[in-house]
Amino acid sequence: MSYSSFLSSAAFFTILLLLHHGFYHVSDGAQHATYIVHMAQSQMPLGFDLHSLWYDSSLRSVSQSAQLLYTYANAIHGFSTRLTPEEADSLMTLPGVILVLPEHRYELHTTRTPLFLGLDVHNADLFPETGSSSDVVVGVLDTGVWPESKSFSDVGLGPVTSTWRGGCEAVTNFTASLCNRKLIGARFFARGYEATMGPVDESKESRSPRDDDGHGTHTSFDILAAIDKAVDDIVDVLSMSLGGGTSDYYRDSVAIGAFAAMERGILVSCSAGNSGPSSSTLSNVAPWITTVGVGTIDRDFPAVAVLGKGKNYSGISLFKGDALPDKTLPFVYAGNATNAANGNLCGPGTLIPEKVKAKIVMCDRRVNARVQKGEVELVADAHLLPATTVGEKAGDIIRHYVLTDPNPTASVLIRRTVVNVQPCPVVAAFSSRGPNSITPDIIKPDLIAPGVNILAGWTGSKGPTGLASDARRVEFNIISGTSMSCPHVSGLAALLNSVHPEWSPAAIRSALMTTAYKTYNDGKPILDVTTGKPSTPFEHGVGHVLPTTAINPGLIFDLTTVDYLGFLCALNYTPSQITSVSRRNYTCDPSKSYSVAHLNYPSFAVNVDGSSVFKYTRTVTSVGGAGSYSVKVILETTDVKISVEPAVLNFKEINEKKSHSVTFTVNSSKASRSNSFGSIEWSDGKHVVASPVAISWTYALLCNSSLFQSKNGMQCVLGLYLFSLCYLKKVNILRPQG
SS (H, E, C) 510-570: HHHHHCCECECCCCCECEECCCCEECCHHHHCCCECCHHHHCCCCEECCCCHHHHHHHHHH
Task: For the chain, give percent helix, strand, coil, nearest 5.
Answer: 25, 25, 50
Residue 431: is it exposed, middle or buried by C-beta count within 10 angstroms (0-12/13-18/19+)?
buried
| DSSP for residue 505 | H
Whole-number pLDDT of residue 712: 38
Q: Single out the catalytic residue among 38, 51, 133, 142.
A: 142
For residue 376, what are the contacts with CB-CB under 8 A and spacing of at least 6?
391, 426, 529, 532
pLDDT digits (tens, 9 = 90+) for 534-557: 999 999 999 999 999 999 999 999
Pick from 680, 558, 679, 684: nearest CA to 624: 684
* Distance of alpha carbon 91 from alpha carbon 37, whole angstroms: 9
Secondary structure (3-state) at 96:
coil
Ramachandran angles phi, psi of 681, nearest 5°? -125, 130
Pick from 259, 99, 285: nearest CA to 731: 285
Ramachandran angles phi, psi of 343, nearest 5°? -65, -20
For residue 341, what are the contacts with CB-CB under 8 A and spacing of at least 6?
none
Pick from 464, 314, 452: nearest CA to 384: 464
| DSSP for residue 596 | G
Residue 619: is it exposed, middle or buried by C-beta count within 10 angstroms (0-12/13-18/19+)?
middle
Pick from 172, 168, 220: nearest CA to 193: 220
Q: Single out the catalytic residue among 58, 483, 510, 622.
A: 483
* Distance of alpha carbon 692 from alpha carbon 679, whole angstroms: 4
* Distance of alpha carbon 659 from alpha carbon 404, whole angstroms: 68
Distances (CA, A) of 187 to 17, 226, 395, 531: 9, 8, 45, 43
Whether 125 sits among the annotated catalytic residues: the reply is no
Listing DSSP states for 287-347 in one string gives: TTSEEEEEE--SEE-EEEEEETTS-EEEEE-B--SPPPPSS-EEEEEGGGSBSSTTGGG--
Are 505 and 474 in contact by the 8 Å Cβ rule? The answer is no
Whole-number pLDDT of residue 402: 95
* Distance of alpha carbon 180 from alpha carbon 171, whole angstroms: 16
Which residue stretches of the chain have pLDDT < 50?
A: 1-30, 111, 215-216, 367-376, 699-738
Count other Cβ atoms within 10 Å, centred on residue 635: 17
Pick from 186, 178, 184, 176: nearest CA to 137: 184
Whole-number pLDDT of residue 191: 86
* Distance of alpha carbon 248 from alpha carbon 110, whole angstroms: 24
* Distance of alpha carbon 333 from alpha carbon 355, whole angstroms: 10
Whether 49 sits among the annotated catalytic residues: the reply is no
In a 13 Å sphere around the CA of 730, the CA atoms on its Cβ side amount to: 22
For residue 143, what are the contacts with CB-CB under 8 A and spacing of at least 6?
16, 17, 18, 19, 20, 108, 211, 212, 213, 214, 215, 216
Pick from 81, 127, 102: nearest CA to 494: 127
- The letter for the amino acid at 383 is H
Whole-number pLDDT of residue 213: 65
* Distance of alpha carbon 41 from alpha carbon 97, whole angstroms: 9
Ramachandran angles phi, psi of 524, nearest 5°? -80, 150
Ramachandran angles phi, psi of 234, nearest 5°? 70, 75
- For residue 85, is the peptide bond before it cis, meaning its omega torsion is within 30 degrees of 0? no
Q: Single out the catalytic residue among 215, 383, 598, 660.
A: 215
Secondary structure (3-state) at 728:
helix
| First-to-last C-alpha distance (Å) of the chain | 38
pTM of the model: 0.82
Whole-number pLDDT of residue 436: 94
Residues in the chain: 738
Buried b (16+ CB within 10 A) or exposed e, 291-323: bbbbbbbbbbbbbbbbbbeeeebbbbbbbeeee
Whether 483 sits among the annotated catalytic residues: the reply is yes
For residue 86, what are the contacts with CB-CB under 8 A and spacing of at least 6?
none
Are 10 and 494 in contact by the 8 Å Cβ rule? The answer is yes
Whole-number pLDDT of residue 458: 76
Taking CA 219 as the corner, what is the angle to CA 450 and CA 69, rounded to the nearest 5 degrees? 140
- The letter for the amino acid at 390 is V
Helix ranges restricted to H, 10-159: 51-60, 85-92, 113-116
Pick from 415, 431, 74, 447: nearest CA to 261: 74
- For residue 302, is the peptide bond before it cis, meaning its omega torsion is within 30 degrees of 0? no
Strand ranges inside 565-700, DSSP E: 604-608, 613-622, 627-635, 640-645, 648-651, 657-666, 676-683, 688-697
